Amino acid sequence: MFYVSVFFQYMGQYMKTKLQYRADLFVEFISDLMFQAVNLIFILVIFGHTSLLHGWTRDEMIFIYGFFLVPFALFGAFFNIWDFNERYIVRGELDRVLTRPVHSLFQIVLERMELESLLGGVTGIIIMMYAGSRLHLELHWYDLFVFILFVVGGMLVYAGVFISLATVSFWSDARSSIMPMMYNISNYGRYPIDIYNRVIRYVLTWVLPFAFVGVYPSAYFLGKKEWYIYSFLTPVVGIVFFVLAVFLWNAGVKRYRGAGN
């Protein structure tokens, strides 16, 4: 409860800061919108050339992409801590975080919040609606809740992997270059998983489970019964990876050496 109210306090503060710079906010909003539009056109062009891929139709693939954008947007808004090493370890900002009576990871999530990323989620939903209507998908009342569950699961998968990566900074001083590579790998999750060979499929399911951000949960909405088990594993995998990441984090904080001053 306390954490929820702290969350809203920070969020209010965030909005206030953003509103202070009106022109900046406007420009940012427009550029985000343009970025999303370009993204959308790009997908349509790409998928315009393929009609069937390993038994997946063009519209199904567009749907998967649309779904993927939603948890990805949530991740971008709250867990995008790619600059953790530089900001908090090298510059020693973690000192300040550690002198406050709130869990350190939670504080960093709040400080690095970027709510404008949520716009990407809106694009994702539009894409899903477009693809869904062409596929004549049937929806039930409970699908909304399943959708929310899967989106949160997907976000936690992303968050888990990237938080774990950030904790590497506690053990090694060097700035790691794994982050950009991981962004690339994460993109594989937005394509149908069975187009890859067995090893990659295994990796994307159990090691770096990015398939749980795109393909698996989408399969449920697309009515692909053979994937249902995986679909419903989404929240489980999300929670497992996230909890693991938090454990790693807590162990890492104990090893924090601080920056000299």
**Judged by CB under 8 A, does residue 256 bind other proteins?**
yes
Sorted by sequence, the CB contacts under 8 Å of residue 28 that are 6+ apart come out as 116
HEC profile of 44-69:
HHHHHCCCEECCEEHHHHHHHHHHHH
DSSP 236-261: HHHHHHHHHHHHHHHHHHHT------
**Judged by CB under 8 A, does residue 95 bind other proteins?**
yes
**Judged by CB under 8 A, does residue 103 bind other proteins?**
yes
CA dist., res. 51 & res. 37, Å (int): 22
DSSP 131-192: HHHHHT----TTHHHHHHHHHHHHHHHHHHHHHHHHHHHHH--SPPSHHHHHHHHHHGGGS-
Region 209-228 residues binding other proteins, contact defined as CB under 8 A: none
CB of 28 to other proteins, least distance (A): 15
Q: Which of 96, 114, 139, 187 binds other proteins (CB under 8 A)?
A: 96
**Judged by CB under 8 A, does residue 130 bind other proteins?**
no
**Judged by CB under 8 A, does residue 255 bind other proteins?**
yes
Q: Which of 15, 52, 98, 115 binds other proteins (CB under 8 A)?
A: 98
CB of 21 to other proteins, least distance (A): 9
CA dist., res. 256 & res. 98, Å (int): 10
Region 6-35 residues binding other proteins, contact defined as CB under 8 A: 6, 9-10, 13, 16-17
Number of residues engaging other proteins in binding (CB under 8 A): 26
User: Are 204 and 189 in contact, with CB atoms under 8 Å apart?
Assistant: yes
Kindly tell me the number of DSSP H helices and DSSP E strands found in the chain: 12, 2
**Judged by CB under 8 A, does residue 99 bind other proteins?**
yes
**Judged by CB under 8 A, does residue 257 bind other proteins?**
yes
Tell me the window of 80-88, 91-99, 184-192, 208-216 that interacts with other proteins (CB under 8 A).
91-99
**Judged by CB under 8 A, does residue 197 bind other proteins?**
no
> Is the Cβ of residue 136 or residue 257 nearer to other proteins in the bound state?
257
CB of 109 to other proteins, least distance (A): 14
CA dist., res. 208 & res. 200, Å (int): 10
* Residue ranges binding other proteins (CB under 8 A): 2, 5-6, 9-10, 13, 16-17, 92-96, 98-103, 254-258, 260-261
